[in-house]
Structure 1
Amino acid sequence: MPPLKFCANLSWLFTDLPEFTQRLHAAATYGFRAVEAAWLYDSDLQELQKAKKQTGLEVVLINTPPGDVTSGELGLGAVPGRETDFRRGLDLAVMIHLMAGRVPVGVDRATVAMEMEATFVENLKHAADVLSKEGILGLIEPINTRITDPRYFLDTPHQAAEILQKVGHSNIMLQMDVFHWQIMDGNLTQNIQTLFPLIGHVQIAQVPGRNEPDSPGEVNFPYLFSLLEKLGYQGYIGCEYKPLGTTEAGLGWVREYWKSHK
């Protein structure tokens, strides 16, 4: 079985370095061959490309633009009336997490669920056509509503699977963040095995603290890594966690994995 591939999430790791270009160099120094980030749109594109070339790192994932964060937006994919803004954001990204967005403040989730799902499905179909021309994979990610974001529209892997079925395009897949899946549903082994054909990207963090995989918590990551190896997962695993100390001090778990899989 080939070893798993890990990428450093530069929005969470090496944050003592103010510039994303600096974080790219740090990730390469500590052994990563790829990186991901939430948003890079405010960074100097030429400098990022220069750092990417110097380090040889692959940038595997960013999110679509969040919208107007000052008014509480976090993605526009399922937000009725913001279709044009969502589609404009597609022009900025590479392999991308197509963020669904939030249920409006003061509105019962059940009353808008059908409209938001319909908007999301249509936007995802449009995204699939746009991304297919560039050979880019689009991803949708359930975000837990119990700890992280109570108003996020897409919150369980099962809801995401139903939406993907309605979208019906193979280049729109499921982003499995173990942190969110464990909080919302648990039953990780069965869910991973059942939904594995839909999974295009994986992210990891321990539960409930969202720290390193080897920090105290609910999830047995060595077991999950072994499961993903047995299932033949070939994509990247994003390290989207909050280090308990410095990033460097918390990388023992991945160094041990690399060492044991040489």
Structure 2
Amino acid sequence: MTRFSANLGFLWADRPLPDAIRAAKAAGFDAVECHWPYAVRAAEVAAALEETGLPMLGLNTRRGNLDTGENGLSALVGRETEAREAIDEALEYAQQTGAGAVHVMAGFAQGDAAEACFTSALSYACAKAAPLGITILIEPLNHYDAPGYFLTTTEQARDIIEAVGADNLKLMFDCYHVQLMEGDLSHRLDALLPIIGHIQFASVPDRGTPDHGEVNFDHIFEVIAGLGYDRPLGAEYKPTASTEQTLSWMQSLKR
């Protein structure tokens, strides 16, 4: 049976993170993941995880200056020190909460210098994460939601992963972003499986529950299972009502 992870950046986002973890457990999720948990002490999150028995799959590095709309630092030339500090912070938080992965956010940048900066930051992150048993993830974002973001396609991500050459650098395959930018999810999942570290999903194009829109997720979940990928899939959708009221898609699948 397909297992699911609640992305607490969107699901139960109106609750303190420890309470959101408890809500995910009560709703039947198999794991949790988050975006930027840093306002909550890691010890509180770890306690909620221990209480519920849910694993924390991953978290993101900080976005940077929110007042100016930043969305990651690691591809920003001249911000290398801050980017590495954000990586260190994320790895420490992941270690304290047992999170298995850190998504290193690239930010808004373009060009060869940005690519070299991002590659260098990822090499640093992978070297620091390897002794901790933590995977580093990179995620292409679509140019509708994040115009100007450095990383936009799975092909670009694969090239960067090959350039860094670290065993613990993997692709975050978000079906929502990939469908908007590239489509052909079934074949891309098959081709990219060796470098995929985590899979997320939401309906396209409204980023809602996976029971409507242009992607047949019943089929996609079957494709993923058929490929032998058995880790929890990340539900990273935006609820249009209370999270509990949006879970019929998962309840029907689990039945």
User: TM-score with structure 1 length normalisation?
Assistant: 0.91
Aligned amino acid, residue 6 of structure 1: F
User: Which residue of 2 is the match for residue 124 of structure 1?
Assistant: 122
Query: 1:80 and 1:24 mapped to 2: Cα distance?
Result: 36
Deviations 1:54-77 (A, max 9, x none): 111111110011111112211111
Structural mapping, 1:8-19, within 5 Å: 8-17=6-15, 19=16
Which shifted more, 219-228 or 42-51?
Answer: 42-51
Match of 1:137 in 2: 135
Q: Contact 1:102–1:152 (CA<8 Å) still a contact in 2?
A: yes
Q: Tell me whether 1:179 sits opposite 2:159 in the alignment.
A: no
Indicate which of 112, 115, 118 corresponds to 1:114: 112
Match of 1:40 among 37, 41, 46: 37
- Once the two structures are superposed, residues 157-178 of structure 1 have per-residue CA deviations (whole angstroms, 9 ceiling, x without a partner) of 1111111110111100000000
Pair 1:192-2:198 in alignment: no
Task: Give the corresponding residue for 1:245.
Answer: 241
Give secondary structure in 1 for the equivalent of 2:72.
coil
Q: Which blocks of at least 5 consecutive residues in structure 2 are unaligned? A: 95-100
Distance 1:8 1:210 in 2: 15
Q: Using the TM superposition, name which of 240-249 and 202-211 deviates more.
A: 240-249
User: Is the 2:30–2:232 Cα contact (8 Å) retained in structure 1?
Assistant: no
Tell me what 1:99 maps to: 105
Corresponding residue to 1:78 among 75, 80, 89: 75
Q: CA deviation at 1:100?
A: 0.7
Q: Retained in 2: the 8 A contact 1:33–1:56?
A: no
Q: How far apart are residue 13 of structure 1 and its match?
A: 0.6
Quick check: 1:200–1:235 contact (8 Å CA) kept in 2?
A: no
How many equivalent residue pairs?
246
Letter in 1 for 2:134: I
1:8 CA displacement: 0.4
Name the SS for the 2:118 alignment partner.
helix
Output aligned runs, 1:43-54, within 5 Å: 43-54=40-51
Q: What TM-score comes out, normalization by structure 2 length?
A: 0.93
Give the aligned residue type for 2:4. Answer: F
State whether residues 64 and 96 of structure 1, in contact with CA within 8 Å, keep that contact through their aligned partners in structure 2. yes
* C-alpha distance after superposition, 1:191-210 (max 9, x if no partner): 11111111100110000110
Q: What value does the CA root-mean-square deviation take over the aligned residues?
A: 1.2
Counterparts of 1:48-63 in structure 2 under 5 Å? Answer: 48-63=45-60
Give the superposition deviation at 1:91. 2.4
Tell me if structure 2 keeps the 8 A contact 1:204–1:213: yes
Q: Distance in 2 between matches of 1:184 and 1:114?
A: 21
> What letter corresponds to residue 124 of structure 1 in structure 2?
L
Partner Cα distance (2:123, 2:42) in 1: 28
The alpha-carbon deviation at position 44 of structure 1 amounts to 2.4
Unaligned runs of 5+ residues in structure 1 are 104-108
Summarize deviations over 1:235-260 as a string: whole Å, max 9, x none: 2211100112221111111112222x
Name 2:151's counterpart in structure 1: 154
Equivalent-residue separation in structure 2 for 1:219 and 1:197 (angstroms): 23
